Structure 1
């Protein structure tokens, strides 16, 4: 798949989430409606994280690899994987140990990065499994903050795979 089409997928998804966050925050709605919107956005942001990492790494794997190897990596990619920081680190390490080190360093540069990423994944799981007690921190502001962190992570991974 061409570079443009790989990046167009997650860039378009990112733009959609960004627009939704802005529109929900701008709305003057009830607290119940805002809570519902925040949960919906948490699921979308978690999906964006998973999809963007997958697209970037599969595109990297397809560059210069034999088609059979690229297809094998794509076909064996986990159908669903919680993209918490541990799993992201494990995946990056499987591709390149330096990427894992860069990711760990990036996480340590700001205290809230690890928490933001892990929270969005935990919230998505709580929402998907009807565990309301796991979603108490889900607000439009917290989801927007996590989304900003995740966009930064996607930018980091994009830069790493281009080196």
Structure 2
């Protein structure tokens, strides 16, 4: 099972993004800042997808029979827009209480849902060349989304460990 060796790979991904933010903070050219923000938006969205996938698949390896774990790993969608609705659906498929707790977690801060959905929407706009869908993509807005996503990953990590 290849996933076992990749568990916590999202931590390396998160460190890479953090380092890029530190590098890009020193860029003064507005056009370069805008380009860097879009690049980071794509990376942050990828981090969101990978971290959720790793955490939930690792969870299946901890308690399920190998055949079931393998089935879940093999049938996991290659790519899935991890907006809040899809995250809620996935969590609910694992445990309905996790879904309820996630919705409550979202309600505790008005920016959480917006930050998560924005990063996914921006990534899709960037990937599909729809520049009109990327207004608001700045280093600050992407950093805010990254912070929220880091909190979300911690939240899910806590759920799968309890």
TM-score (norm 2): 0.96
| Cα-Cα RMSD | 1.2
CA distance in 2, matches of 1:78, 1:4: 20
1:24 aligns with 2:24: yes
Relative distance call for 1:3 and 1:74 in structure 2 (3 A) is: closer
Look up the SS of the partner of 1:138 in the other structure: coil
Post-superposition offset of 1:123? 0.1
Look up the SS of the partner of 1:63 in the other structure: helix
> How many residue pairs end up in the alignment?
161
Post-superposition offset of 1:142? 0.3
TM-score (norm 1): 0.96
Equivalent residue number for residue 7 of structure 2: 6
TM-superposition CA deviations, 1:101-150 (whole Å, max 9, x none): 11101100000000000000000000000000000110000000000000
Equivalent residue number for residue 117 of structure 1: 116
Post-superposition offset of 1:64? 2.1
Equivalent residue number for residue 60 of structure 2: 61
CA distance in 2, matches of 1:140, 1:18: 12
CA distance in 1, matches of 2:72, 2:155: 22
CA distance in 2, matches of 1:28, 1:70: 45
